[in-house]
Structure 1
Amino acid sequence: MPLSLEQGRQPPIFLYNYHMHTIQKTTSIIAVFVACLTVPLQAADWPNWMGPTLNGVSAESGWSTDWPQDGLPVRWSKEIGTGFSSVSIVDGLLYSMGHADGKETVWCLNADDGTVVWSHSYPAELNANLYEGGPGATPTIDGEYVYTLSVDGRLICLQRKTGKVVWEQNLQQELGVPLHEWGFNSSPLILGKQLILQGGRIVSFDKLSGKKLWQTDKHTAGYGAVRSFTHDGESLLASLDCDGLRISRSDDATEVAFTPWKSPFRTNSTTPIIYGNRIYISTGYNVGCGLFEFNGKALKEIYSNKQMRNHFNNSILLNGNLYGMDGNSNLGRVVTLTCMDFDTGDVKWKQRGLGCGSLMVADEKLLILSEKGELVVAKASGESFEELARSKFLTGRCWTVPVLLNGKVYGRNAAGRLVCVELPRN
């Protein structure tokens, strides 16, 4: 259930054609004509939760919002089991997770047609505590390996092309913590040689051997991912657990700064958004959001309010605006898609009707999956909500963020139906 620091865009891609020809008799004059052809920009891979820049923003363009009136045609669908794990895609291979019949399965599918390349299953708890349960962490791909975390704390490194297990750790045993109320849901972060996540402690493993490098003291578990950043040349980590926001050193787990940030039901499930020396967090159950400035030793609050209360899906930062779902899943009909000024916390607009859905950003547009399974595109603008396209996509409960990659949108529902549709091209 469940940012790179800059909202960078990839440079355009050009093809250069050189045409040389000879003019007149014995003396040849060679002229070079250069034609620059702009190619639709595509992001080749989406290797982990929130994408290659870890901020939910894609520079992919070339796709159209002129959608068929009867909805986007389904390219393929696959039943992968109960859960909320999103998809990661590298080299045309898609990875996700689901639970069925007492087992959890890591799936590797052909991203183009949905055929199974390999799968790896193991006994696991469903942990259906007031919701469907199942895995909530998204696979993380690094080099030739894929790293996955089960809802009951099984951390696995597999060869991404074959599914062969390289190493495995049981976090309940390794960290000396129980199965948390909402399970283990922290998508792994790769930082150099380290694999870092949280779940009752922040912990670092050697990504190749699985050897534990360090761990913090125990705290009340959170469910978001850990994020890395650099301050005055020092490599640091930001994490939100159910006690508060922590800043830790990435080399030895030393805590540098902490500010309390508690949820009444221990449900802090979002990932800190880092921009420069400022860190933004948000929590549901009427706790709200806060922006903090980090000076190297402490966290100073810039603002806090109750206008953005992310229950579990992150807001996305683009061009100084935050876009996210304000409200709780148990009151989905009054949840609003909200645009907030990152610097001030002022609300620019709100839009109802999407439930407790999720979103990513691509080509300066919001790609939204509503809680009831509609796929919606709107302008990423601080002026107002402007819908550009809408299509039926899924049924049932949809809390998991969709992924747009290479002209296709991938999304799943809680029951485990994974769907791929292809968008029209410009």
Structure 2
Amino acid sequence: MKPFYIPAIVLFSLSTQAADWPTFRGADRTDISSETGLLKKWPGNGPKKVWMNEDAGLGYAGYSIVGGTLYTLGARDAVEYVIAIDAATGKEKWSAEAGALLTNNWGDGPRSTPTVDGDKIYALSGKGTLVCLSAVDGKELWRVTMESLGGKVPGWGYCESPLVEGNLVIVTPGGAQGTLAAFDKTTGAKVWQSAEWTDPAQYASVIAVDHNGTRQLIQLTMQSVGGVNAADGKLLWKTEFPGKTAVIPTPIFKDGQVFVAAGYGVGCKSFKIGPDNVLEPLYDSTDMVNHHGGMVLVGDHLYGYSDKAGWSCLDFKTGVVQWAEKKALGKGAIHSADGMLYLLEEKTGTAVLIEANPKEWEEKGRFTLQPQTTQRNAKGMIWTHPVVSGGHLFLRDQELLFCFDVSGK
């Protein structure tokens, strides 16, 4: 009898199929991890630190974790790199150039999260170079610039994370040639660009939904929120959303309802995509002025930090505030796993665990990230969003990348 074996490339594909966190805000871009059996309360000094990597590069990039490897972006000297790190040990596996260094008064370096799809990585540099790399060793397969698509680097750099949709990879170059663009994910050849929608790029990431019998791509800009057909980029619907200074949070969708928000006093807006993609306004208010920490929808309730009222819970369907808490923790980012919310305060690096409870703020532990970088720009803060994957909580402060055990085992 011949020995049974599986080629290495097949093993890799199998591991990526079971991937827990392949892109920014997870595979469905809800920012809710599918992890279960996690700690419901943290020890007094916080969960156990498993490892810390001190050379993840500068910048505010997030991370994807697939098949035991964490993928992120970081700046070293004058170059931005895609960096692969062993998720169990924190040891670097490889690094590959993504693009030239983005310089910015709030801190240099990349801002987006790499996207993992099978044996490939897609990453967008701060200046707008989209690279496709081998996930195994970082070998470059193709690259394209947002500038070649008519795009202009936004004030804080390109921040969105690429979206893999079927055989396409979607990004937002912005500009007169089209707000959104799609490439063949294998060859890098452009498939379409949304010529009917020409807003400049902002900082949100695209989501993909099934609605009205069509796969729709929904994106948010400074001027509007719109949906295009994933197959050809044709505009399906669009409505005004006048932002100020910067529009950052990822749109949220459930059962035909879209919710968007922005900071700088703008607030939030929600509407239904009805039959024939006719839009029905639901509400708009300043009850969720979310700047850049993101929001999560758990069940029928939306959670996030509002510049107006602090950490807030809103009824998603009606927009009615359920509770707000400003004293317990300052502004920051949010993530959800196993019925809990993981909050990270931007100024102090304090992480807090609370229940996803629509009735009240119910804290279940906190700790402050230590050590913290000495290389962060004076205007910068801890802006990388928390992620739970494989029973571990991943946090980052510039070049310092942390892994904590929250498995409950």
What TM-score bracket applies, with the shorter chain setting the length? 0.7 to 0.9
Aligned to 2:191: 213
Aligned-pair distance for 1:335? 6.4
Q: Structure 2: how far apart are the matches of 1:149 and 1:120?
A: 13
Root-mean-square deviation (CA), in Å? 1.7
Verify the 8 A CA contact 1:66 1:424 in the aligned structure 2. no
Aligned to 1:196: 170
* Change beyond 3 A, Cα 1:411–1:246: same
Aligned-pair distance for 1:49? 0.8
Aligned to 1:96: 72
- The structure having more radius of gyration, on CA atoms, is 1
1:85 maps to a residue whose letter is: A
111-120 or 246-255, which deviates more: 246-255
253-262 or 389-398, which deviates more: 389-398
Task: Return the TM-score normalized by structure 1.
Answer: 0.84
3-state SS of paired residue (2:277): coil
Kindly provide the CA deviation profile for residues 93-129 of structure 1, in whole angstroms up to 9, marking residues without a partner as x. Answer: 0000111311111110000111111111355132314
Aligned-pair distance for 1:44? 5.2
Aligned to 1:235: 215
Aligned to 2:391: 407
Verify the 8 A CA contact 1:256 1:298 in the aligned structure 2. no
Q: Does 1:423 align with 2:403?
A: no
Counterpart pick for 1:300 among 270, 280, 289: 280
Count of residues in Structure 1 that have an aligned counterpart in Structure 2: 374
Aligned-pair distance for 1:164? 0.5
Verify the 8 A CA contact 1:135 1:151 in the aligned structure 2. yes
Aligned to 1:270: 249
Aligned-pair distance for 1:276? 1.3
1:114 maps to a residue whose letter is: G
Aligned to 1:134: 109
Kindly provide the CA deviation profile for residues 242-276 of structure 1, in whole angstroms up to 9, marking residues without a partner as x. Answer: 111011111221112111112121x1112111111
Q: Structure 2: how far apart are the matches of 1:177 and 1:59?
A: 35
Aligned to 1:113: 89
Counterpart pick for 1:146 among 117, 121, 127: 121
Task: Return the TM-score normalized by structure 2.
Answer: 0.87
Verify the 8 A CA contact 2:99 2:125 in the aligned structure 1. no
178-187 or 204-213, which deviates more: 178-187
Aligned to 2:268: 289
Verify the 8 A CA contact 1:379 1:385 in the aligned structure 2. yes
Q: Structure 2: how far apart are the matches of 1:423 and 1:277?
A: 34
Q: Structure 2: how far apart are the matches of 1:388 and 1:315?
A: 20
Verify the 8 A CA contact 1:335 1:354 in the aligned structure 2. no
3-state SS of paired residue (1:55): coil
Kindly provide the CA deviation profile for residues 279-306 of structure 1, in whole angstroms up to 9, marking residues without a partner as x. Answer: 1100111110111111233322100000
316-325 or 387-396, which deviates more: 387-396
1:281 maps to a residue whose letter is: V
Q: Structure 2: how far apart are the matches of 1:335 and 1:166?
A: 47
Verify the 8 A CA contact 2:271 2:283 in the aligned structure 1. yes
Aligned to 2:350: 374
Kindly provide the CA deviation profile for residues 202-233 of structure 1, in whole angstroms up to 9, marking residues without a partner as x. Answer: 00000110000111233121211111122221
* Change beyond 3 A, Cα 1:276–1:70: closer
Aligned to 2:329: 354
Q: Structure 2: how far apart are the matches of 1:67 and 1:297?
A: 45
Aligned to 2:7: none
Aligned-pair distance for 1:238? 1.0
Aligned-pair distance for 1:45? 2.0
Verify the 8 A CA contact 1:65 1:424 in the aligned structure 2. no
Runs of 4+ residues deviating >6 angstroms: none
* Change beyond 3 A, Cα 1:304–1:66: closer
3-state SS of paired residue (1:246): strand
Aligned-pair distance for 1:416? 2.4
* Change beyond 3 A, Cα 1:149–1:122: closer
Aligned to 2:359: 383
* Change beyond 3 A, Cα 1:71–1:232: closer
Q: Structure 2: how far apart are the matches of 1:60 and 1:231?
A: 27
* Change beyond 3 A, Cα 1:243–1:107: same
Verify the 8 A CA contact 2:333 2:343 in the aligned structure 1. yes
374-383 or 114-123, which deviates more: 114-123
Aligned-pair distance for 1:359? 1.2
382-391 or 55-64, which deviates more: 55-64
3-state SS of paired residue (1:199): coil
Verify the 8 A CA contact 2:81 2:96 in the aligned structure 1. yes
Q: Where does 1:311-326 land on structure 2 (aligned, <5 Å)? A: 311-326=291-306
401-410 or 415-424, which deviates more: 415-424
Aligned-pair distance for 1:132? 1.4
* Change beyond 3 A, Cα 1:122–1:203: closer
Verify the 8 A CA contact 2:150 2:173 in the aligned structure 1. no
Kindly provide the CA deviation profile for residues 163-208 of structure 1, in whole angstroms up to 9, marking residues without a partner as x. Answer: 00111111112x1222221211111111110101213120000011
Aligned-pair distance for 1:87? 1.0
Aligned-pair distance for 1:401? 1.1
Counterpart pick for 1:176 among 150, 156, 160: 150
57-66 or 141-150, which deviates more: 57-66
Q: Structure 1: how far apart are the matches of 2:41 and 2:154?
A: 45
Aligned to 1:58: 33
* Change beyond 3 A, Cα 1:297–1:65: closer
Aligned to 2:238: 258
Aligned-pair distance for 1:81? 1.8
Verify the 8 A CA contact 2:36 2:338 in the aligned structure 1. yes
Q: Structure 1: how far apart are the matches of 2:98 and 2:31?
A: 30
1:124 maps to a residue whose letter is: A
Kindly provide the CA deviation profile for residues 9-67 of structure 1, in whole angstroms up to 9, marking residues without a partner as x. Answer: xxxxxxxxxxxxxxxxxxxxxxxxxxxxxxxxxx8521111112321112312222443
3-state SS of paired residue (1:168): strand
